[in-house]
Chains A and B, each alone.
Chain A
Amino acid sequence: MGGTDLPLVLEFGGGAELLFDNVKKRQVTLDGSKTWKIKELLGWIRDNLLRERPELFLQNDSVRPGILVLVNDADWELLGELEYELQPNDNVLFISTLHGG
């Protein structure tokens, strides 16, 4: 607890939530004793949250093209994409643009 936790808010929208039990927003707490990059977060999501058809969310260690990723309301492309180092209380949002844009 305390200093060794990394609390994050994960959000899924635009149809991406359908792959995650239809839950749009969830609080998660990661092990804060090590640094987490988005790359590792995606692996964690795949192992712990993704319920069905991982190929609709992930492709070659990254998210599938057509899924937007926003960290604290900023496009992840501006933050280094997979290499961005997550900070406590970051809000990470995944939106699929393929369903009903």
Chain B
Amino acid sequence: MCSIGEDDFGDDGGVHSMEPKLENLNINDASGICQKCNTEPVAVQLGYKEPECKTCFLMYVRHKFRASLGSSKILPKNADVLLIFDGSPSSVTLLDMANFAQTQNTFKRLHCNLKVLVVDDTFLGHQEEEYLKKVLEILGKYDIDTYFTSLASTGPPIPVKEESEEKLRGPWVEEETKLKTMVEKIKTLTLRQDFITNHRKNIIREAALHLNSPFVFLSDISPDLASVFLANISLGRGSSTAHDIALLDERIDNLKLIRPLKDLTGAEVQYYIQFNDLPTVSFRTYGETVGTKMSSIQNLTKSFVENLQEKFPSTVSTVFRTGNKITTKSQLQPARNRCDEVVCRLCRSVIDLEESKTLFAVEFSRMASEFAANGLNDMSSLSEKARQQLQIDNDKQLCHACRNIARNVSSSDVDFESFL
């Protein structure tokens, strides 16, 4: 018979044999020596992972970077890669990792020709003083070809050698004023941020083409991408959001935007910076400086994700992994069907709005409000007018979200079209 409390077990029955051996489960109560290498003292504990020493931690995060490139086989040998640098902790981490990977022995070396690009947006007035100087100082420590361009640039990027900050910023002063005026004429902060994000990508693409770099490294990490994903959905960019958060964005032929740090968390980046004693610059986005947490969809989404993440540490990865499973319609189509696609002139994603009932309804209701506001009573032609307006919009070759930006430029003196 099998029953608890048999004589063999003494007074406490079988209880003593059922207790888990807690001392083996408590990973913090180790000897203080890293269990991976068995030599160095532990320095960091990430989530539910075993505590690691500095060396093992650095190997682990560098492996994440290398594995994202290696397993996807995106990068051919000796590819020309343009790394976008802004001085933020994640971009310093990316630069350092890429640089480190190039100095490895033959077996592990990252074979690519690395160039760095700084996209200057200080003329919008949201970066701290001396931001650019500090960014260039950091880059001076690496022996990598560096180029400089402006968010308002219209020509090829300038190589940064011994050039002074003034000289670098010289060529585009006029364009910068124009762009700044344009941005300020966009009615809401949400749309301003959305425009800047997409315009910045276009500047990066142009610079990469000028520099003959078919590959671009972006330094987005998982918490950034989680909020970008949710914000994109609210902005009406659902159909192209897959490009904005995946490892690879190949919206434009012959140019691949890659996010090799997409699996890193904020804590991993900060530990990497700390353990390597790397300098960083406080990089601010336009929306962070100009508005509060509540003033735009992007800011609000970001603070929502951050808040949730604090209380439920799996939030970011849940959002992010869900987003990862989404693909665009065009990605599923065979390549030969893609030549007749219409592409948005601002965000470069495929426009798939044919006969959208939702958009027609939105347009109809917008027209109805306009009619009412102007005191007009003849509602009969409304649906025809809405259809015509949609056709005009379609002819402009802008996607739904970018159309919203164009429609909300509040002044007729600025030419939105000239920035496309």
Contact = CB atoms under 8 A, between A and B. Distances in A.
A5 interface: no
A66 B309 contact: yes
Contacts of A78: 28, 32, 42-45, 51
A98 B309 CA distance: 10
A100 interface: yes
A92 interface: no
A6 B27 CA distance: 31
B223 A101 contact: yes
Interface in B175-205: none
Nearest to B90: A101
Contacts of B274: 13, 70, 73, 93, 95
Interface in A48-101: 64-66, 68, 70, 73-75, 77-78, 93, 95, 97-101
Contacts of A98: 266, 306
Contacts of B270: 13-14, 68, 95, 97, 101
B111 interface: no
A101 B66 CA distance: 19
A75 B88 contact: no
B42 A66 contact: no
A15 interface: yes
Contacts of A100: 88-90, 282-284
B376 interface: no
B400 interface: no
Interface residues of B, number: 31
Interface string B279-311: 000111000000000000000000000100111
A66 B310 contact: yes
Contact of A73 (B54, B267, B284): B54
Contacts of A75: 42-45, 51
Q: Is the interface of B mostly helix, strand, loop or mixed?
A: helix
A14 B266 CA distance: 10
B265 interface: yes
A54 B164 CA distance: 41
Nearest to A95: B270
B9 interface: no
B41 interface: yes
A77 B310 CA distance: 17
A65 B311 contact: yes
Contacts of B28: 77-78
Contacts of B309: 66
B269 interface: yes
Contacts of A68: 267, 270-271
A69 B269 CA distance: 14
B223 to A, nearest CB: 6
Contacts of B42: 74-75, 78
Contact of B43 (A65, A73, A93): A73
Interface in B34-86: 41-45, 51, 54
Interface in B294-334: 306, 309-311, 313
25 contacts: A13-B270, A65-B313, A68-B267, A73-B43, A73-B54, A74-B42, A74-B44, A75-B42, A75-B44, A75-B51, A78-B32, A78-B42, A95-B274, A97-B265, A97-B267, A97-B269, A98-B266, A98-B306, A100-B88, A100-B282, A101-B89, A101-B90, A101-B266, A101-B267, A101-B270
Interface of A: 13-15, 64-66, 68, 70, 73-75, 77-78, 93, 95, 97-101
Given A73-B43, A95-B270, 10 more contacts: A13-B270, A15-B282, A74-B41, A75-B43, A75-B44, A77-B45, A97-B270, A100-B90, A100-B284, A101-B90
